[in-house]
Amino acid sequence: MLEKAASKEEGVRTVDVKGSQVNVKKIEIRDGTGSAKVSLWREQSQKDFHTGQYPADEPVYTRRVTVAGISVEGDITQLLLRDDEVVTVSSELLLEALPEGNRMDLEHLTINGTVDLNIEFKGTEVLTVQYIQ
């Protein structure tokens, strides 16, 4: 199951596989950590994917996380969770989740201790962030 959003799609081409003509199409998928090219064969090659569309039907789920540290690079924020997992979110999305009085330099958010958030995911993409007081 693919967890990233389609970002680039090539046309369908036909290749010879053991004497039979088989359709194949390449798509590029990416997230905040990089990209990868994936070949879709036979019936899968006939499906249309568009930027931001998921090749596989990914479930949407919410996780409550405890953030121990934060690193900001422009519009991308990496959250170091208590269990040492790293989650990448949009800086803007995180700022919007904070209460009015707490909208500060994001890297100082955990200066007084951990912060709890509810994060809604689709695959590895963060859809929403909710601050828990």
- CATH assignment of 60-132, among 2.40.50, 3.30.70, 2.30.30, 1.10.1740: 2.40.50
Stretch 46-55: mean pLDDT: 64
Share of the chain above pLDDT 70, in %: 80
Q: Do residues 77 and 87 lie in contact, with contact meaning Cβ atoms separated by under 8 Å?
A: no
Sign for the pseudo-dihedral over CA of 95, 100, 106, 109: negative
Count CB-CB contacts under 10 A for residue 29: 20
Question: E-assigned strands of the chain?
Answer: 5-9, 13-17, 20-31, 34-41, 60-73, 76-81, 86-90, 115-122, 125-132
Summarize pLDDT for 69-99 with one digit per residue, the tens.
999 888 899 999 888 888 999 999 999 998 8
CB atoms within 10 A of CB 17: 11
83 Cβ contact partners less than 8 Å away, ≥ 6 residues apart: none
Which residue spans of the chain are classified as CATH 2.40.50?
Answer: 60-132
Whole-number Å distance between alpha carbons of 42 and 48: 13
d(CA 68, CA 109): 9
| pLDDT band (50, 70, 90) for residue 1 | very low
For the full predicted model, state whether its pTM sits above 0.85.
Answer: no
